[in-house]
Amino acid sequence: MARTRDGINELFDAVRKKWVRLTPEEWVRQHMVQYLLELGYPPSLLAVEKEIRLGELKKRCDIVVYNHHAAPCIIIECKEMNTPLSEAVLHQVLRYHAGLAVPFVIITNGLYCQGFRKTADRFTETHEFPLPAQFMNG
């Protein structure tokens, strides 16, 4: 759902239940939210722009997916379409992982997605998108 209000384009965020300014990054974030909902993730288990603390710093994760026990499972970092999925973007989401340990991290610019699974003490690239059934029972 979209609208223009006072000359500003906005989208309705179904997770935050509010209108947000349509920016290139927000467009990617909202499409990822819709994809998660279509996969079957309940909106009540998604957090958009989730604030976390990294020492003294406050940061915001674009999307955090939780399981039914309120444990975080996935961190998704969204970039606008013209931003390449670089090592710097991956390092950004891995810093978030330091404050919110999850088994999966995903980076996307709306055109491409890269997923990484935590195995032992490191992340390895995966080509399988984590599905709700992997997390919803535990």
Give the tens place of pLDDT for each residue, 36-81.
Answer: 999 999 999 999 998 888 778 888 889 999 998 889 999 999 999 9
* DSSP letter for each residue of 34-100: HHHHHHT--GGGEEEEEEEEETTEEEEEEEEEE-TTS-EEEEEEE--TTS---HHHHHHHHHHHHHS
What is the rounded distance in angstroms from the CA atom of residue 134 to the CA atom of residue 104?
A: 11
DSSP tag of 18: E
Which residues constitute the domain of residue 109?
Answer: 23-134
pTM across the whole model? 0.90
Which CATH number belongs to the domain containing residue 46 in this structure?
A: 3.90.1570.30
Let me know if residue 13 belongs to a domain: no
Question: How many domains in the chain?
Answer: 1
Let me know if residue 74 belongs to a domain: yes
Do 66 and 77 form a contact (C-beta atoms < 8 A)?
A: no
| pLDDT computed for residue 136 by the predictor | 65
| pLDDT computed for residue 58 by the predictor | 85
**Percentage helix, strand, coil, to 5, in the chain?**
25, 40, 35
What is the rounded distance in angstroms from the CA atom of residue 28 to the CA atom of residue 62?
A: 10
Rounded percentage of the chain residues whose pLDDT exceeds 90: 64
